[in-house]
């Protein structure tokens, strides 16, 4: 009983009464329902901004937690290993510093900036003006809407959903895109972008940036300076314009067609192809074979047959089964036929 009383006494719940400022320490908690000029949270304290609540300047430190459920926060600075969770309300500016973490599932924000090794997860809501990321900060977007996103230094951005009107990668930043919708994607300096899915109206690569594309839908591509764009797929064709293929090198401008590695057909209009820039169309038959072999092996596994895969000296692929022999099927890749056998 004494331990229970001590535990309950350790949690002090305060009710806001319209004070100009508030300071929380230890495990104190505050429900913010009126206006405050400055709100400071330390240690493991928590505060919930609810309907009617307003904080002009919120400062969250140590391992403290600020939850914005409704109301308004003008500026919020998150330091150390603190956390900010936003599921409603409005914020003008949020700055994530050190190893702080931010989770946004709803609400409206004007400015979001991350520094050092902070992390941000966005699954909903709207960032209206700009989202800028510095140092080695990490940003994950699975939903919501971001008007402008800019990645700097060695920051990393992972996008699997949502809508980003304009995304720009600078310096040594890296961006992985596996979903979502974009109006424009722009790469600069030595940034690195990997795209496996998603939809974009325009993709433009500048300076010495590199872009690897293995999926998605894109209306227009521009390459400038010494940028490199690599398309991973197969059955590439120059469909229109003065576009031509010289081995794996794409020359000129026009419409290029092909299939992604998952078999999805696509067309891409190359609007600009600067003399110093490079566009590669890399066919990967070995990857296709591995994918098909994986599907065959999985099928046979569920049939409870022992399967092993071996490569012959003629680069053919055989499935060794402990039943009667004969050809199961054959693959034709890159102009060569690849037999698939099963033997006793």
What percent of the chain clears pLDDT 90, i.e. is strictly above it?
A: 74
Q: In the structure encoding, which two tokens stand for residue 132, read together?
A: 């800028």
- Domain ranges in the chain are 175-283, 286-341
Q: Is residue 15 predicted with pLDDT exceeding 70?
A: no
Q: 3 or 157: which carries more pLDDT confidence?
A: 157
134: pLDDT confidence band, cut at 50, 70 and 90?
A: confident
Residues 63-68, mean pLDDT to the nearest whole number: 98
Q: Is residue 140 predicted with pLDDT exceeding 80?
A: yes
Q: 316 or 285: which carries more pLDDT confidence?
A: 285
What is the per-residue pLDDT for 101? Answer: 97
Q: Which residues contact 265 (CB under 8 A, 6 or more apart)?
A: 257, 258, 259
Residues 222-228, mean pLDDT to the nearest whole number: 97
What is the per-residue pLDDT for 34? Answer: 96
What is the per-residue pLDDT for 322? Answer: 35
Q: Is residue 144 predicted with pLDDT exceeding 90?
A: yes
Could you give the angle at the alpha carbon of 134 between the alpha carbons of 162 and 88, nearest 5°?
40
Phi-psi region of 263 (alpha: psi -120 to 50; beta: other; left: phi over 0): left
What is the per-residue pLDDT for 295? Answer: 55
Give per-residue pLDDT as tens, 101-116: 999 999 999 999 999 9
Least confident stretch, 40-54, 93-107, 182-196, 286-300: 286-300
172: pLDDT confidence band, cut at 50, 70 and 90?
A: very high
Report the half-sphere exposure of 27 (CA within 13 A, side-chain side): 7
Give per-residue pLDDT as tens, 235-265: 999 999 999 999 999 999 999 999 999 999 9
Taking the C-alpha atoms of residue 293 and residue 291, their distance in angstroms, rounded to an integer, is 5
Residue 57, Cα to own-chain centre: how many angstroms? 30
What is the per-residue pLDDT for 323? Answer: 36
């Amino acid at each position: 009983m004494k331990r229970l009383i001590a535990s309950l006494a350790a949690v002090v719940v305060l009710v806001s009464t319209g004070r100009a400022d508030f300071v929380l320490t230890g495990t104190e908690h505050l429900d913010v329902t009126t206006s405050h000029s400055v709100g400071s949270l330390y240690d493991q304290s928590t505060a919930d901004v609810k309907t009617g609540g307003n904080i002009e300047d919120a400062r969250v430190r140590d391992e403290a937690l600020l939850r914005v459920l409704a109301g308004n926060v003008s500026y919020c600075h998150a330091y150390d290993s603190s956390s900010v969770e936003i599921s409603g309300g409005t914020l003008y500016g949020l700055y994530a510093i050190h190893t702080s973490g931010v989770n946004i599932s709803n609400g409206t924000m004007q400015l979001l900036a991350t520094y050092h090794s902070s992390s941000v997860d966005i699954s909903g809501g709207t960032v209206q003006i700009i989202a800028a990321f510095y140092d080695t900060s990490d940003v994950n977007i699975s939903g919501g809407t971001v008007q402008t996103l800019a990645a700097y230094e060695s920051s990393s951005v992972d996008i699997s959903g949502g809508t980003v009107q304009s995304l720009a990668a600078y310096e040594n930043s890296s961006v992985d895109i596996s979903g979502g919708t974009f109006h424009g994607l722009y790469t600069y300096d030595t940034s690195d972008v990997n795209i496996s899915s998603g939809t974009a109206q325009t993709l433009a690569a500048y300076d010495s940036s590199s872009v690897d594309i293995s999926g998605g839908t894109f209306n227009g591509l521009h390459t400038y300076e010494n940028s490199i764009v690599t398309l991973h797929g197969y059955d590439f064709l120059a469909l229109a314009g003065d576009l031509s293929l010289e081995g794996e090198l794409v020359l000129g401008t026009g419409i290029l067609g092909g299939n992604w590695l998952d078999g999805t057909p696509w067309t891409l209009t190359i609007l600009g192809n600067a003399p110093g820039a490079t566009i590669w169309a890399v066919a990967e038959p070995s990857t296709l074979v591995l994918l098909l072999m994986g599907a065959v092996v999985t099928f046979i596994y569920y049939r409870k047959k022992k399967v092993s895969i071996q490569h012959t000296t003629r680069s053919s692929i055989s499935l060794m089964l402990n039943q009667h022999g004969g050809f199961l099927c054959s693959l034709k890749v890159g102009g060569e036929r690849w037999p698939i056998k099963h033997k006793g």
